Chain A
Amino acid sequence: MANTYCTATNTGKGFFTHDDRNNFYLSGHAGDVWVVGNNAAGVSWINRVSGTAKVKADAQAIVDGKIEEAQANWDNLPADKKTPAEGYATVTRPIKYILP
């Protein structure tokens, strides 16, 4: 299994270091979900940041829930806020995606 999953609060400086990033895969997602490379350094990082381990399905459900919340917020925006100014492709409804 290439990745493992957890939730952890980003505490700022030192939460993950340059060395961490060179030692294991890491990506952050809505709901304080982190996808972590499944090696000794990654597992050690989860312990260091007091992360709560999640199976992939649970991590995905957290992210999906946050995106649904963001979609609802976007749906409630007035029409002029949903239309990209001058046709710029920059204002979009959040889209669900699959965690790596």
Chain B
Amino acid sequence: MATYKGIQGYSVQKLSSDPTASEAVGQLWYNSTAGKFKISVEGAGAWATGGALNTNRSRISGCGTATSGLAIAGVNGGPQMAVVEKYDGSTWTEIADVNTAREAGGSSRNSPSANTLYFAGNSTANSESWNDTSWSATPALNTARSGVGGAGNSSTSALCFAGEHPPTAVTEKFDGSAWTTVNSMNTARAYLAGTGIVTAALAIGGDYAPAQVANVEKYDGTSWTELTGNLNTVRSSNAAAGTTALAITMGGYNAASTYLTICETWNGTSWSAQANMAIAKGSTPDGFGTSTAAVCSGGGNPAYTPTKLDFTEEWTDPVYTIKTVTVS
């Protein structure tokens, strides 16, 4: 009887179960349980559904990784919310509330879910730190505001930039003891997306009445620089995740107030359109993670009732898949 080795001149591994797809890219094996040849292939980035939030809301802030993230506060048509939920990669679980209910605050976006700072929102100067058990008041911002951008990697290292009313370019840095006003952004705006840390942050899109902006600015720990690489789709109230070198932004709405499924990634030089989310999410959905493994949850879409969403989508890039090989 002809063998694969005899035909192709190669030995093929015989395995009783499939290996992890990401660890077997480009490999061919024989699955003896299924009685089939298999290969692992690398595909384009894509969005998949995640677990739904327990509380529908928009104007959320968040932090963490795709398997351990937070959705902090927000609003759902009524009073502002203090609710906080934690995501484990599958399920959202409600944890301790923030002390002051509010919407459109900022957070140390790149901090772990166990150690973050939540600040501003509802035109307040409030700031609270999270230690994985409870929220504690920390020194107030110098400028009260809403719709801010946030960056940072812990509860003692944070950057708060832009916001309203009216649109501002004011930037403040928190060192664990106090907020200090530092160099302002080049373009005042509100309801932008922020990501990064205090020495390397991105301010992405945003509102400057009466229109949104496509420009993106980078903070280097001292000053903001307008990047030449604008977003391909003008937007505000979008979400973001990642670093100044590799970032992703998703959702929001554009100048025509169209709620967006559109997703773009930043490679340090330019923004590139990626696969869309399945459901449009504006009104500042939660966003956290990295440019290759991110989560986008909640937000608003006026076509839905209620208009504030609980949907979660998870971004993975690339997508590894095991395929069955047909031998003819």
Q: Which residues of A contact B (CB under 8 A)?
A: 10-22, 26-30, 63, 66-67, 69-70, 73-74, 84-90, 92-94
Contacts and interface: CB of A to CB of B under 8 A. Distances in A.
Interface string B155-168: 00000000011110
B236 A90 contact: yes
Contacts of B314: 18
A18 B236 contact: no
A18 B50 contact: no
Contacts of B283: 90
B304 A70 contact: yes
Contact of B237 (A67, A69, A90): A90
A34 to B, nearest CB: 8
A27 to B, nearest CB: 6
Given A21-B47, A21-B278, A74-B302, A86 B319 contact: no
Q: Which 6 A-B pairs have the closest CB atoms?
A: A87-B209, A21-B46, A94-B302, A92-B257, A28-B279, A15-B49
A12 B87 CA distance: 13
Contact of A27 (B44, B164, B209, B261): B261
B79 interface: no
A86 B209 contact: yes
A75 to B, nearest CB: 12
Contacts of A86: 164-167, 209
Contacts of B47: 18, 21
B190 A28 contact: no
A89 B256 CA distance: 8
B302 to A, nearest CB: 4
Contacts of A90: 191, 207, 236-237, 253, 257, 282-283
B204 to A, nearest CB: 16
B303 A22 contact: no
16 contacts: A10-B49, A12-B50, A12-B51, A13-B91, A15-B49, A18-B319, A19-B321, A22-B319, A29-B303, A30-B303, A70-B302, A70-B303, A73-B305, A90-B237, A90-B282, A93-B302
Nearest to A93: B302
A22 B236 CA distance: 27
Nearest to A86: B165
Contacts of B319: 18-19, 22
A20 B316 CA distance: 13
Given A12-B49, A13-B49, A89 B305 contact: no
Interface in B213-243: 236-237
B276 interface: yes
A15 B51 CA distance: 9
B291 interface: no
Nearest to A74: B302
B9 interface: no
Contacts of B257: 89-90, 92
B211 A89 contact: yes
A13 B50 contact: yes
Interface in B265-302: 275-276, 278-279, 282-283, 301-302
B48 interface: yes
B209 A88 contact: yes
Contacts of A66: 303-305
B99 interface: no
Contact of A70 (B46, B49, B278, B307): B307
B212 interface: yes
Contacts of B236: 88, 90
Given A86-B209, A88-B210, A90-B236, A18 B46 contact: yes
Given A19-B319, A27-B276, A90-B282, 11 more contacts: A12-B50, A12-B52, A14-B49, A17-B48, A19-B321, A20-B48, A21-B46, A73-B307, A86-B165, A86-B167, A86-B209
Contacts of B301: 30
